[in-house]
Amino acid sequence: MPDPFRLAGPLLRRLDPETAHGIALRALELGLAGRARRRERPSLALRRFGLDFPNPLGLAAGFDKDARAPGRALELGFGFVEVGTVTPLPQAGNPRPRMFRLPEEGAAINRLGFNNAGAERMARRLARRRPAGVLGVNIGMNATAGDAPADYRAAFARLATLADYVTVNVSSPNTPGLRDLQAPDNLRPVLGALAREREVLALGGGPPLILKLSPDMADGDAVLAATLAADEGFDGLAISNTTVERPDALAGAARREVGGLSGRPLFRRSTGMLRAVFRAQGGRLPLIGVGGVDSAGAAYEKIKAGASLVQFYTALIYRGPRLVTAMLDGLERRLAEDGFESVEQAVGVEA
């Protein structure tokens, strides 16, 4: 079957990035992005957080903020899809323009500011059309929230029964004050509120709770946050979100734009932080590796550094949806070449 991205990709990249993103998401909704051939990949299957993943590759939060097409995204070959970030109330986010491409670097900068239609709208959509596959929901607080724990608790309460897991985003650089929540005295009340809400909802051991951290934290602070998460009953960590740092060698006209940098320049920092947390906590919490993944080799390096699961999004802007299948094929080859029968055996071998 011809690859629609070979024609559409260059055309989309002539448009404003946010306009192009809207068109790409609509095309996915309509089933125009294609579908991967279904086949079993036993060496890539694994179980984490009490969930069975057919493979470790996931679509990162940010692409589908309002859960418009998670089922279609799963059809591309992903082992799981994470939607959001969603806030309790709808919000418009920051003024446009707020998305910028750095094609020379395989990177992007965004300062979207949690633009989304709100938790109620997402909940209604998921109640009508829940995809068959592992679905994560990424939650945040509204920019005008006066009580951060209450805001996170409200979003969780509305969406918890519709998600296979919930990621708590306290690490986006685009909501003023949000990353201050990563400080221990601020983080503990948020984590505790969510753990208690899970008990109130009588959900037993689920849905699993994942904490997403910033790559701009010191490794020691990330380890402390991981310890707090484990102590509060969280089930895993996602490392990492976008960065406000700008490497000296960063190229591209948009490199000085304010916002979170994603894509290839983030890979080394996010992977180093992942490795440090895995090594320090001895595998106590499973890790999701995010940041700069654009190939099977990059995904495999995250896994060997300690990631059980790997997410990406920015690479799809430049490589298109067939990247998913190419990465799955590449992961299978690398595991076989290294003598591993399962991706489980590769997790953390180079931590």
- Annotated catalytic residue: which of 43, 172, 262, 295? 172
Provide CB contacts within 8 A for 349, sequence distance 6+. 304
Measured between alpha carbons, how far is residue 265 from residues 94, 102, 106, 213 in Å?
A: 24, 10, 8, 17
Q: Which residues pair with 165 in a beta bridge?
A: 136
Q: Which residues pair with 86 in a beta bridge?
A: 139
Distance between CA atoms of 73 and 59, rounded to whole angstroms? 8
Provide CB contacts within 8 A for 266, sequence distance 6+. 107, 215, 240, 242, 243, 291, 292
172 is catalytic: yes
**Exposed, middle or buried by CB within 10 Å (0-12, 13-18, 19+), for 204?**
exposed
DSSP conformation class of 116 = B
The angle at the Cα of 350, spanning 46 to 108, to the nearest 5 degrees, equals 75
Kindly report the backbone phi and psi dihedral angles of residue 336, in degrees, each rounded to the nearest multiple of 5, phi listed first.
-65, -45
DSSP conformation class of 101 = E
Contact 110, 85 (CB under 8 A): no
Nearest Cα to Cα of residue 288 among 53, 71, 108: 53
Q: Please name the residue ranges forming H helices in 3-140.
A: 4-12, 17-29, 70-74, 119-128
Nearest Cα to Cα of residue 172 among 109, 249, 223: 109
Distance between CA atoms of 161 and 19, rounded to whole angstroms? 32
**Exposed, middle or buried by CB within 10 Å (0-12, 13-18, 19+), for 118?**
middle
Active-site annotation, residues: 172
